[in-house]
Structure 1
Amino acid sequence: MAETPSNMLPLGTKAHDFKLLDTVSGKKLTLDDCKGLEGTVIMFICNHCPFVIHVNSKLVQLAKDFKSKGINFVAISSNDIENYPQDGPEFMKKRAIDEGYIFPYIFDQTQEVAKAYNAACTPDFYVFDSHLELVYRGQLDDSRPGNDVPVTGEDLSNALNALLHNMPIPQYQKPSIGCNIKWRPNKQK
């Protein structure tokens, strides 16, 4: 399993708007529909990545823990479904229901949103404050499939708690590690 790190979008970057299909509700959602009053976590994930599968239950738990505090989560899958059909919308909906996602699981068919966020891997995490400015991008925690480190969500939850308590979020942030986003091949005419 190849390990790809986050590209580490510059802190302070404004969140890029989108209008994408939520695979569970069947509705097109925008950033404004998904954002939280106090902050927003945008995650690039997919169905088949072992790094995402490894942390799925913790993502659900964190989303539940922070929703009542004004932090909303949204998951985006941008993988090429022609070569990775298991990451298609119908399978995304099933995964969201099976895992108990309380957040939208939206499909970036054109991959333009992943490009706008400079996303590189799954999972890739971005935390935006109430003004939709990036305050954290990096790993969930130090756990990886097979490294025997427990999944705690420590890095992400520490950033969210700091945001909620108006405390500084450390500038040094460890990149997330995961499978590379499966980019569609350029089909030039």
Structure 2
Amino acid sequence: MKKITTLFSLALVALLALNAQAQESMLGKEMKDLPKMKDANNKGKKASFADFKDAKGFVLVFTCNHCPFSVAYEDRLIALDKKFKSKGYPVIAVNPNDPAQYPSDGYKAMVSRAKNKGFTFPYLLDPTSNVARAYKASRTPHVYILQKQGQKYKIVYVGAIDDSARDESKISEKYVETAIANLLKGKKPSKNYTRAIGCSIKMRNQ
């Protein structure tokens, strides 16, 4: 039994390492605009990066309704959007989860959540989970900061929002806030990768 437990632990560590490598490999990649997706925070109108004409980049976050980590970060995402949207880095939230696995992640529930929390940013439905797959996202929340470069968007940060997923009062490093502050000064993020903490994304079947 002990041997089986040890093998399982080693396999889990290897899997986590592979996931980390996949996500870190996204740094520096140039992405196309998002496909137009239904915005639960704007009466179902479809939206993408192109709707933000004056944006210098984006804080793209894969999130959902049911995950306690996502819920814990909602107020912090609102604060980030309010602080940086006017400076050119708005938040865009995307829900890639399969509602067949978690009904509370369905579109109608997204509409209710956006309204009840007072989201200040788009909350988009990824109906195939293919946007999450394209970014190799694995957690909710999982953040990607993108810098606009012509018609493409370069990934300059991947990972967590800060270093205290459960308790906002214990934050010592605000990864996303610091990265955007660097970008606004014309510098590269001083830290461009951290490990995202959260629930696994419940991908839809392809």
Query: Which TM-score applies when normalising by structure 1?
Result: 0.87
Please say if 1:14 is aligned against 2:34: no
Task: Indicate if the aligned counterparts of 2:41 and 2:121 stay in contact, CA closer than 8 A.
Answer: no
Any idea what SS the aligned residue of 2:24 has?
A: coil
Task: Map Cα deviations across residues 96-139 of structure 1 (whole Å, 9 max, x no partner).
Answer: 11111111000001111111111100000000112111111111
Matched to 1:66, the amino acid is F
Task: Indicate if the aligned counterparts of 2:158 and 2:192 stay in contact, CA closer than 8 A.
Answer: no
Match of 1:28 in 2: 46
Task: Indicate if the aligned counterparts of 1:9 and 1:117 stay in contact, CA closer than 8 A.
Answer: no
Sort the Cα spacing of 1:127 and 1:49 in 2 relative to 1 into closer, same or farther, 3 A: same
Give, in angstroms, the shift of residue 168 of structure 1: 2.3
Query: Which TM-score applies when normalising by structure 2?
Result: 0.80
Task: Indicate if the aligned counterparts of 2:99 and 2:105 stay in contact, CA closer than 8 A.
Answer: yes
Task: Indicate if the aligned counterparts of 1:38 and 1:164 stay in contact, CA closer than 8 A.
Answer: no
Matched to 1:183, the amino acid is M
Match of 1:93 in 2: 111
Task: Map Cα deviations across residues 54-89 of structure 1 (whole Å, 9 max, x no partner).
Answer: 111111011001111111110000000112110011
Matched to 2:102, the amino acid is Y
Give, in angstroms, the shift of residue 33 of structure 1: 1.6
Alignment gaps of 5+ in structure 1:
none
Higher relative contact order (CA closer than 8 Å, sequence separation 6+):
1
Match of 2:6 in 1: none
Task: Indicate if the aligned counterparts of 1:58 and 1:151 stay in contact, CA closer than 8 A.
Answer: no
Q: 2:93 aligns with which of 66, 75, 86?
A: 75
Any idea what SS the aligned residue of 2:104 has?
A: helix
Quote the Cα distance in structure 2 between the aligned partners of 1:169 and 1:83: 36
Give me the CA root mean square deviation.
2.1
Q: Percent identity?
A: 36
Deviant stretches of 4+, over 4 Å: none
For the pair shown, the structure with the greater C-alpha radius of gyration is 2
Any idea what SS the aligned residue of 1:81 has?
A: coil
Q: 1:63 aligns with which of 71, 81, 85?
A: 81
Any idea what SS the aligned residue of 1:93 has?
A: helix
Task: Indicate if the aligned counterparts of 1:38 and 1:70 stay in contact, CA closer than 8 A.
Answer: yes
Task: Indicate if the aligned counterparts of 1:9 and 1:118 stay in contact, CA closer than 8 A.
Answer: no
Q: 1:39 aligns with which of 35, 57, 61?
A: 57
